Structure 1
C-alpha cells in the first residue's frame, strides 16, 4: 500500500497536468476561432491588430481632424486646411489676421473632406437621426457637399463665430445655413452687397438637389 501522502502528491501532479492540457486546448480553440471570417467578411483578431474588412475610419489624409487638435486657418500641415479652395483660404486668413487684433482666434473644426469621409458622416447622421431625410438637414452627399470640393469650412470657437457674424461679409465670408452657424463659404459679392439670405438648412439649398 502506497503512503497516503505520496498518493495525494501523485493525484496533485495528474491534476496539474490535466489543467495544463486544457489550457493548451483552449488557446488552440481561440486561435482557430480568431481565424474564422464572420458573416460580414471581417476577421476577429486580438485587440490592437488590424481587422480585414473593418468599417472605414477616416484619417488626417481624408480631412479628419481630432477634436483636441483643431488647427488654425494658417496650418498647411493639415489636409483639411491645405486642400481648401485657395480663394476661400485667402479670405479666411485675411479675416483671421484682422480678428487677432480683437483677441479672437479662428479654429477649423472641419474643412476639406475626402468623398469617403463625407459618406461616412452621412451614414452616421442617418443612423443618429433615424432617416436619410432628417440627416440631409445636416450632412450633404459626397457629390453635393461643398466640403468635398474645398469650398466650405466649419469654424469655432463661439468667439470666432460671433466675430464673423459681425465682420465676415467684409471678407466675403458668409454663413450659409441658419441651422449651422459654424459653416462658412466664400461669397465675394458680400464685400459690397452683404451676405445673401441664409437657407434654413441644406435641404433648402438648390445645390443639394443635384
Structure 2
C-alpha cells in the first residue's frame, strides 16, 4: 500500500475533523490510525474518509441549507399540541403571563410556531424544563416564552446549543475525550433533549448521522430517542462506582477512561425490553445503513457510530459486531 494512499486518508479525515471542530487525534484513534497505517485497513478507511466528507456537507431539507447541528430547532417549525400552552413571564419563566383581565395568556392549540431562542431552567438535580421563545412562522408575531413540552414531540432529539471546551480545560473536564484509558483531547459537544426530557450531550461530529437515523425511523412511524450520550470522566466514574458498590439503579458500567461514551461514539437508545420493541426491531434492520452498530453483549440499547464496523456488519447481514453474543 502506498504512502500516498495513507496520506490521502489522513488528509480527508483531517478535513472532516476540522469541519466538525473535533480533535484530529480523536478522529485517528476512532478509526485505528494511531496504530499505524496497516495495509488491510487503508482501503476501508479511504471509504470512511469519503463518507465523512459527504456527511459533513449534508443538507437539511427542512431548512433548505446546511443543518444547524448545534441548534437543530432553528431548522424547523413546531405544532402547538397542548390546549393550555401558557406563555411565561420573560423575567421569571416559572411564572405565567397574564392578560389585562388576569387570565392566563396562551398560544392556541394547532398554531404552527418557530422557536428563535431557548432557555433551560433546572427544577432538580437532573430535572429541567426547556423553554422556547415562540414566534409565528413568518416571524411577524411574537408569542413569547413557553414550555417546549407544549409542542409536538416535546423537543425530544432537538439540539439546543453547542458545548465548547473552556480555555485550558482539564483532561477530567466536561469535554475531555478518553479511549482505552488514554486522554485523547477536548471535543466539541452539543446539548440534546433525551427521551426523559432531560439534557444529554453528543459529540458535535455525530449529530448529523444521528439526526439522519432519527428522521428515517420517523418516516417509518418509529420513534428513536436517546437515554445517554457523551459522558465526562467524573460522570463515568460515578456510574462505575455505583455499579461496583451494587447501589440501586446502577447498571453495568466500564471503568472511567475505558467507556466509548467518553470518546463520543456511544449512544444509549431507548429500547425498553429489547427484542420485540418497535424501535429495537427497526434499528436491527436499518441502523447499520446510517453507520450505527451494536457493540456490547446484553445491552440492546448500546449502539455506536462507527462507519467502518457498521459497514462490515451490514455486508455480513447482521447489526452487531462479532463480539456480541446476546
Task: Give unmatched runs, 5+ long, in structure 1.
Answer: 1-59, 130-134, 202-210
Q: Radius of gyration: which is bigger?
A: 1
Cα deviation for residue 186 of structure 1 reads 1.2
Q: Cα distance 1:65–1:97, how it changes in 2: closer, same or farther (>3 A)? A: farther
Residues 200 and 116 (structure 1 numbering): CA distance in 2 closer, same or farther, change over 3 Å? farther
Q: 1:76 to 1:176 in 2, by over 3 A?
A: farther
Greater fraction of residues in strand: 2
CA 1:173–1:145 in 2, change beyond 3 Å: closer, same or farther? same
Is residue 261–residue 267 contact of structure 2 (8 Å, CA) maintained in 1?
yes
Question: Is 2:219 the partner of 1:101?
Answer: yes
More helix by percentage? 1
Residue by residue over 1:118-152, the C-alpha shift from the partner in whole angstroms, topping out at 9 and shown as x without a partner, is 111111111118xxxxx9x9211221111122221
Q: 1:165 aligns with which of 243, 262, 284?
A: 284
> What RMSD, in angstroms, separates the aligned Cα atoms of the two structures?
3.6
Shift of 1:71: 6.8
* Structure 1 residue aligned with 2:307: 188
Aligned position for 1:197: 322
CA 1:128–1:71: 2 relative to 1, 3 Å: farther
Identify which of structures 1 and 2 has the higher relative contact order when contacts are C-alpha pairs closer than 8 Å and 6+ apart. 1
Residue 270 of structure 2 is aligned with which of 156, 164, 188? Answer: 156
Partner of 1:30: none
Q: Shift of the alpha carbon at 1:179? A: 0.7
Change (3 A) 1:87 1:192: farther
Q: TM-score, normalised by structure 2?
A: 0.35
Q: CA deviation at 1:85?
A: 2.7
Aligned length: 135
TM-score scaled by structure 1? 0.53
Distance 2:210 2:216 in 1: 10
Where has structure 1 moved over 6 Å in runs of 4 or more? 68-71
